């Protein structure tokens, strides 16, 4: 769980996850979205893979990254449980209603 939160602590890594919501993308497609070097992006990809948040698959000369939705779901549910939040109750509250 600590690896997941560490990976999520950087805004570029969070944005990579957002970009992958629409489907798999190559490392190059992702890297061109950010004003940082390719080695820096490689480090971000490594951190996300190590945390299990993304998967990388070699296709031809590219690595295609996809979200690991099962781990994201597990991490979110674990966080909700640690915070003592009832996910069922939270989803039924109206916006602006206090807990």
The domain locations on the chain are 2-82
How many residues make up the chain in this entry? 99
Q: How confident is the model at residue 77 (pLDDT cuts 50, 70, 90)?
A: low
Q: What is the pTM of this model?
A: 0.74
Q: What percent of the chain has pLDDT over 70?
A: 75
Q: Is 81 helix (H, G, I), strand (E, B) or coil?
A: helix
Burial of residue 24, with CB atoms counted within 10 A of its CB: 0-12 exposed, 13-18 middle, 19 or more buried: middle
Measured CA to CA in angstroms, residue 76 lies from 24, 51, 62, 87 at distances of 21, 14, 30, 10
Q: Which CATH architecture has domain 2-82?
A: Orthogonal Bundle (1.10)
Burial class (CB in 10 A: 0-12, 13-18, 19+), 17: middle
pLDDT tens column, 30-74: 999 999 999 999 999 999 999 999 999 999 999 999 998 776 677
Q: What is the pLDDT of residue 4?
A: 83
């Amino acid at each position: 769980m600590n690896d997941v939160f560490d990976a999520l602590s950087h805004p570029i890594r969070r944005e990579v996850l957002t970009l992958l919501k629409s489907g798999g993308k190559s490392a190059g497609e992702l890297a061109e979205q950010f004003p940082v070097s390719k080695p820096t992006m490689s480090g971000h990809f490594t951190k996300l893979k190590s945390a299990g948040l993304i998967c990388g698959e070699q296709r031809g000369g590219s690595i295609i990254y996809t979200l690991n939705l099962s781990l994201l779901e597990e991490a979110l549910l674990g966080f909700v449980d640690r915070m003592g939040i009832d996910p069922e109750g939270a989803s039924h509250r109206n916006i602006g209603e206090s807990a």
